Amino acid sequence: MHTNVWVVDENVDNLESCAQITESAELLQKNEVVAFPTETVYGLGGNALSEIAIAKIFKAKGRPADNPLIVHVSSVSQLDQLVKHIPESARPLIEAFWPGPLTIVMPGGAQVASNVTAGLDTVAIRMPDHPVARALIHKSGIPLAAPSANLSGKPSPTTAAHVYEDLKGRIAGVVDGGPTGVGVESTVVDCTGDVVTILRPGGITREQLEEVVGKVSVDPALSNEGQAPKSPGVKYKHYAPQAPFTLVEGDTEAIQSLVNEAKTEGKKVGVLATEESKHHYDADLVISCGTRKDLATVANRLYDVLRAFDKENVDVIYGETFPTSGMGEAVMNRLMKAANGRIIKKEFLGN
């Protein structure tokens, strides 16, 4: 399959009139799949009302079929096609955070393709805050189911080049709208119960949610891999670089001791560091993912950094950990997934 690449300037007037948007929208209407930018990561879009289109998404990504997809809309009016009703707890969240990196799980409607929801009676929906994404959805006239546009298990794509690297020859095309902004996926919340529940931390923090709806809860599936997922990103290993990646909860000396040990074994060693600590490490490859003073910078660069280690063919990677408040909750969620749960505590090193 030939994979088209359409370069679009998000700042042009009337994006929907662009030939690139028109051509890609026509392919979506024919049940092909097309990658496009959002403010979080690049998504792989397909008609959320067509089982044929959704099957192509799963095939292209190599994604397990029991992992539900998020549906993207360009207006609140599109919810009529997708949900039985809008829960009362969802309304203030829609008003506060749409368009934006918040996905809301609601009771699913009959028109949604069954393979979008992985057999659940709920559907996860968001309205992206990216002009190219919204123009493409509106031009196509259909809601788009869109997981991250990468091979399943690899770091999510934050540039069109990442998408092309993973999915060339597997999908109809990529709309290149430049690098994404937030860098980690949307926060997913369940509004079908009595209390708003976080299913996946992301671009909207727990603290921001609680300012709007009061106390929120956290789904047990975030720490229980055996449960059936209501949300993407909570059951399987995700975001992983090719080399074994281990988080280290300790100071720079603790990480350096592990680096030294690996180097004596002849391994090429990478360290995922921060601006504050990168000069403290003696490893084959040290990459800063941002500053501890602003964890949004870490979220923004995280996937790009994980892919950079792949390009340098390191044998093993050690990474720093972060506080789990604010954006740190999403950062640590993604890092733990990338490490497949591998974390070494400082006290285990005897220092």
Task: Provide the CATH number for the domain around residue 49.
Answer: 3.90.870.10
The predicted structure's pLDDT at residue 240: 84
Residue 179 sits in the same domain as residue 58: yes
Tokens 């659940």 correspond to what residue? 120
164 is in an annotated binding site: no
Residue 286 sits in the same domain as residue 139: no
Residue 61 sits in the same domain as residue 143: yes
Stretch 178-199: mean pLDDT, rounded? Answer: 94
Q: Which of the listed residues 187, 222, 257 is the one where a domain comes to its end? A: 222
146 is in an annotated binding site: yes
Residue 257 sits in the same domain as residue 111: no
19-29 vs 131-140: helix crossing angle, rounded to 10: 50
Q: Which domain holds residue 164?
A: 4-222
Q: Is position 235 within any domain?
A: no
Q: How far apart are CA 56 and CA 199, in angstroms?
A: 26
24 is in an annotated binding site: no
Strands 42-47 and 173-176: unpaired
How far is the CA of 290 from the CAs of 97, 156, 207, 259, 271, in angstroms? Answer: 25, 17, 22, 21, 13
Residue 209 sits in the same domain as residue 261: no
Question: What percent of the chain clears pLDDT 70, i.e. is strictly above it?
Answer: 94
Stretch 119-123: mean pLDDT, rounded? Answer: 93
Residue 31: pLDDT band (50, 70, 90) is: very high
Q: Is the peptide bond preceding residue 99 cis, with omega within 30 degrees of 0?
A: yes
The predicted structure's pLDDT at residue 231: 60
DSSP state of 4: E
Residue 212: pLDDT band (50, 70, 90) is: very high
Q: Which of the listed residues 222, 237, 261 is the one where a domain comes to its end? A: 222
Q: Is position 267 within any domain?
A: yes
Question: What percent of the chain clears pLDDT 90, i.e. is strictly above it?
Answer: 85
Q: Is position 62 within any domain?
A: yes
Sign of CA dihedral 166, 169, 172, 174: positive
Residue 213 sits in the same domain as residue 84: yes
239 is in an annotated binding site: yes
Q: Is position 76 within any domain?
A: yes
Question: Residue 189 above 50 pLDDT?
Answer: yes
pLDDT tens figures, 261-308: 999 999 999 999 999 999 999 999 999 999 999 999 999 999 999 999
Residue 232: pLDDT band (50, 70, 90) is: low
pLDDT tens figures, 32-81: 999 999 999 999 999 999 999 999 999 999 988 888 999 999 999 999 99
Closest CA to 123 of 169, 163, 68, 76: 68
122 is in an annotated binding site: yes
Q: Is position 54 within any domain?
A: yes
| Burial class of 267 by CB neighbour count within 10 A (0 to 12, 13 to 18, 19+) | middle
pLDDT tens figures, 297-345: 999 999 999 999 999 999 999 999 999 999 999 999 999 989 999 999 8
Stretch 5-34: mean pLDDT, rounded? Answer: 95
Of 182-186, 231-235, 253-257, minimum mean pLDDT range: 231-235
186 is in an annotated binding site: yes
Residue 257 sits in the same domain as residue 218: no
Question: Residue 351 above 60 pLDDT?
Answer: no
Domain of 271: which CATH number?
Answer: 3.40.50.11030
274 is in an annotated binding site: no
134 is in an annotated binding site: no
Q: Is position 238 within any domain?
A: no
Residue 279 sits in the same domain as residue 335: yes
Residue 286 sits in the same domain as residue 206: no
Residue 215 sits in the same domain as residue 255: no
Stretch 163-182: mean pLDDT, rounded? Answer: 96
The predicted structure's pLDDT at residue 350: 44
Q: Which two tokens stand for residue 303?
A: 């996937």
Distance of alpha carbon 263 from the chain centroid: 33
The predicted structure's pLDDT at residue 349: 47
200 is in an annotated binding site: yes
Residue 112 sits in the same domain as residue 58: yes
Residue 119 sits in the same domain as residue 50: yes
Please count the structural domains in the chain.
2
72 is in an annotated binding site: yes
